Amino acid sequence: MIVIAVGANLAADGFETPLATCEAAVARLAVEPSVTILARSRWYVSEPVPVSDQPWYVNGAIRVSSTLDAKALLERLHAIEAWFGRVRRVRNEPRPLDLDLIDHHGQVRDGHDGGPILPHPRAQERAFVLLPLAEIAPGWRHPVTGVGVEELIAALPPGAPAIRPLAAG
């Protein structure tokens, strides 16, 4: 199973809202010859992590199949982010698009070979990853700990950054 988290709290140039940017990014991924979207979550709005005065995020997740290995897929995701105007300067800064590779077939990688760290190192701590993930992969288990997504959600600390489904329309 391959899972990608999608998020934004700024509108990319040419788009009116972060939601429109996220929708366009998923549509862009859908036309990649090496990627097939199998499932997508609904959209959520979430408080920035760490909590700050920047705009709230729109977040979701997609489950895909791909002929790309983890490193090549992450490079493709970064290229799409750049196309939407993402420039990586400071960690946790506002951004027009964030595409995170959360899981790639249960691989566990430390990133020392230049490839991605897998599973995503903070996925299990973040409601904005776990809630959409539970929708598209309810049986998902963390590749390192073996803990299921529903258990991870239940273990989120009280007072964690706020998240809610985005109202339709």
Could you tell me if 18 and 76 are in contact, meaning their C-beta atoms sit under 8 angstroms apart? no
pLDDT for 45: 97
Supply the pTM of this predicted model: 0.94
pLDDT for 114: 84
Which CATH number does the domain housing residue 112 bear? Answer: 3.30.70.560
Report the chain's terminal Cα–Cα distance, integer Å: 31
pLDDT for 49: 82
Give the residue numbers annotated as catalytic, written as ranges.
Answer: 86, 95, 98, 100
Could you tell me if 98 and 49 are in contact, meaning their C-beta atoms sit under 8 angstroms apart? no
Dihedral angle computed from the Cα positions of residues 29, 118, 103 and 162, in that order, rounded to the nearest 10 degrees: -90
Domain range holding 81? 2-165
pLDDT for 58: 98
| Model pLDDT for residues 11-51, shown as the tens digit of each residue | 999 999 999 999 999 999 999 999 999 999 999 999 998 77
Domain count, the chain: 1
pLDDT for 168: 65
Q: Which residues of the chain have pLDDT under 70?
A: 168-169
